[in-house]
A and B are shown apart, each in its own frame.
Chain A
Amino acid sequence: MTTGSDTRARAERLWARAGGGDGGPRLTRLQRLAARFGRGAVIGVPYLWLLLFFLLPFLIVLKISFAEFRIGVPPYTPLLEWLEGGYLQIRLALGNYLFLGQDPLYISAYLSSLKVAAVSTLIALFIGYPMAYAIARASPSWRAVFLLLVILPFWTSFLIRVYAWIGILKNNGLINNALMALGLIDDPLPLLNTEISLYVGIVYSYLPFMVLPLYATLEKMDVSLIEAAADLGCRPLRVFLTVTLPLSMPGIVAGSMLVFIPAVGEFVIPDLLGGADTLMIGKVLWSEFFTNRDWPVASAVAIAMLVLLVIPIVIFQHYQQRQAERAEET
């Protein structure tokens, strides 16, 4: 009897020492700790990744952009240098950035990149909007098929698809052969390495990024709004302009940003499909780095391009945040 009650008392004392009578608070404290650690891990790992593989390389590029070209390894001057007598010399060469402003090549490359990206975005919007609209209004079973077809090209490598366009557009390629076989033309049309092939390549590659966000907004839209507008005396074109278009604005902004931003810095498509005179900042960057081997100027080009692209991204983010706030209010 006594031993039995002794053991029990001891167990109770142990239990109390371990964390109080009911054991509840201890458990929650543990859980809270786990939760905090878990949340930290979930947020921390991607941030660590970005720090290691984005921010550090970016800082290195930023550093190089303030250096000067020299022949040697590495092919640029150091930023910090110990001098005799315990001096630490910091040499910030701003010449690279000034050079970008002085040489019309870079400015026109930037401008032409913006132009190409803007025109491509507009073409993608004009092709993508009707597509997205048709998919959103299709029956649910067809909708799934159409969406699959939009995403299907991603199954193949981007590079291979761009190469495939060479085969289609070149002088003895698919289109020219077909047109000549039909007797419509005698000599092949110059399609490849022109503005046309450049736009075809960019619009083709980025069209899904336009269609998908547009589809998402159009699909959510209440059809009875369109009916209500028609009921109130609005003809189809005006229904589109006064109701459908304003309500699909978030999709238009998202799609346009997703096409415009990567198109500005695009290098592969202008290199493979564009003409010799196609001037795009991605291509300039490439030749500066690999042909000219001028790392500092190439870095400055890269930093300037980044700044140029950050502006539309910030606008986009701001717009999205406003949308989210508005959605919260409803």
Chain B
Amino acid sequence: MPDHTVWGQCDMMETVAPGAAAARPEGSRPGAVLRRAEARPIIEIDDVVKTFGAFVAVDHVSLTIREGELFALLGGSGCGKTTLLRMLAGFERPTAGRILIGGQDMTDTAPYDRPVNMMFQSYALFPHMTVEANVAFGLRQDRMPRAAIRERVREMLDLVELTPFAKRKPHHLSGGQRQRVALARSLAKHPKVLLLDEPLAALDKKLRERTQLELVGIQERVGTTFVVVTHDQEEAMTMADRVAIMDSGRIIQVDTPHALYEYPNTRFVAEFFGTVNLFEGQLVEDEPDHLLIRCDALANPVYVGHGISAREHATVWIALRPEKLAVSTTRPDAPHNWDRGIVEDIVYLGGISTYHVRLDGGALARVTTQNLERMSAPEITWDDVVYVSWRPDNVVVVTS
């Protein structure tokens, strides 16, 4: 894979959300982002539709996944993410549209002829075979010489640190070990793409968090393209280079975790990806260098430091992340971007505290602050009158 050594200039323009043309920091894994810049597409999903009777599971989805990427399909249950993954594996045939893998049309190719492998949610380990035989299963189908199979199995078991368990049957392993056997088995054949269906769903929280990073480490070492299906927003953020957010069969937004969080293109994405305060409002001014929005729930107008070129008086929503709001007992001087309210609840989480402020207009605003000082007495407490404010460049405006 030559792309690993070529570290080109990052082409970020493609993933920039509307109204967010300003330069922004790269994603959580800058190396991976840079590496991808010149990578060629490995999976091209072209206007794929899948229906089960009257139910539309996947609705005109087009998506390109690049070589070497760790890509996540994120969405709630029934959003079509698993169906999409199963179509990539070949277990379901698209009702319409095409799927290209490595530049070849594989829409109607049987699973056993595809250069992809899948890691199942249930792991689907063969209970009548040892760990070794499970990992070797795919290689045997290719009629590889015995010595080569043994070598590859050893290599894979080393990779997932399961060499001492080679002779065991799956039911003698813990959940985490089974998960690693499933990973080793699906990686053994050098697939062009590894499909992972909720790979960590069966693990408990602690183990899951550790395994997320392990999976990323393994992905970086082997360089295989990973497509992960998950319903866990945090998991997608931790692991993925890019995330596609799906809802009722459609892809809502595809971007880096950072861009999805800071530049959501819809209310749905803003709410699905992290916590957000959403206010509906009317566009009062829309100039190239600023916006002015009046929200019924907020006493003062909202000033935004860029234009969005929508029609005047259009209905828009402003999204304010809790950590980008400030709460204080002194009244700001500015003519916009603040409101007054009463502290209804304080959630203390050690590292951060979340204030639930009931604004005068009736809406609830969540504000998180970092607890940087150990000894400082909290100056804001229940039922205090407080002022919630934010900077113009921290406002996200979405039009749908």
Which residues of A are in contact with B by a Cβ distance under 8 Å? 222, 224-225, 227-235, 238, 242-243, 246-247, 329-330
Pair B124/A222 contact, Cβ less than 8 Å: yes
- B115 nearest in chain A by CB position: A233
The CA of A234 and the CA of B140, in the complex, are separated in Å by: 9
Contacting residues, chain A, for B89 (C-beta < 8 A): 227, 231
Q: What string of 1s and 0s marks CB contacts (under 8 Å) between B132-156 and chain A?
A: 0000011001100000000000000
Whole-angstrom distance between the alpha carbons of A234 and B128 in the complex?
A: 17
**A222 lies within 8 A of B111 (CB):** no
Quick one: which of A224, A227, A243, A246 contacts B111, CB cutoff 8 A?
Answer: A227
B103-140 vs A, CB cutoff 8 Å, 1 = contact: the mask equals 00000001111001110101011111000000001100
Contact (Cβ within 8 A) B120 A227: yes
Closest 4 CB pairs of A and B: A232-B138, A233-B141, A228-B124, A224-B124
B331 interfacial contact with A, CB 8 Å: no
Contact in complex: B126, A231 (CB < 8 Å): no
* Given known contacts A227-B111, A233-B112, A234-B112, A247 and B128 CB-to-CB distance under 8 angstroms: yes
Contacts of A234 in B (CB 8 A): 112, 137, 141
At the interface, yes or no: B91 with Cβ under 8 Å from chain A? yes
Known: A233-B112, A330-B171. A227 touches B91 (CB 8 A): yes
Chain A: minimal CB distance from B395 (Å):
46
> CA separation between A230 and B142, bound complex, in Å?
12
Give Cα A229 to B137, complex, Å.
Answer: 8
* Distance between A252 CB and nearest chain B CB, rounded to angstroms: 13
Cβ-defined contact, A231 with B137, below 8 A? no
Number of interface residues of B (CB under 8 A): 26
Question: How many Å from the CB of A316 to the closest CB on chain B?
Answer: 20
Does B189 count as interface, using CB distance less than 8 angstroms?
yes
- CB under 8 Å from chain A, chain B span 314-355: none
Q: With a CB–CB cut-off of 8 A, which chain B residues contact A247?
A: 127-128
Provide 12 A-B residue pairs closer than 8 Å at the C-beta atoms, listed in order of the A residue.
A222-B122, A224-B122, A224-B124, A227-B111, A228-B126, A229-B137, A230-B110, A231-B91, A231-B112, A233-B113, A233-B189, A247-B127
CB distance from B260 to the nearest CB of A (A): 30
Complex Cα–Cα for A274 and B117 (A): 55
Are A232 and B171 in contact, with the CB atoms below 8 A?
no
Instruction: Give the distance in Å from the alpha carbon of A183 to the alpha carbon of B91 in the complex.
Output: 49
> Given known contacts A225-B126, A247-B127, is B171 in contact with A231 (CB within 8 Å)?
no
Complexed CA–CA distance, A228 and B181 (Å): 13
**Are the C-beta atoms of B141 and A232 separated by less than 8 Å?**
yes
B185 on interface, CB distance cutoff 8 Å: yes
B24 beta carbon closer than 8 Å to chain A: no
Q: How far is the CB of A114 from chain B (nearest CB, A)?
A: 30
- Partner of B142 from the list A224, A229, A233 (CB cut-off 8 Å) is A233
Closest to B127 in A: A247
Q: Which of B91, B117, B141 is most buried by chain A, counting CB atoms within 10 A of its CB?
A: B141
Asked if B40 lies at the interface with its beta carbon under 8 angstroms from chain A, I say: no
- B313 CB–A CB distance under 8 Å: no
Residue in B closest to A238 when the chains form the complex, CB atoms? B141
CB distance from B139 to the nearest CB of A (A): 9
B172 near A231 with CB under 8 A, answer no
- Which residue of chain B has its CB nearest to the CB of A247? B128
Contacts of B128 in A (CB 8 A): 246-247
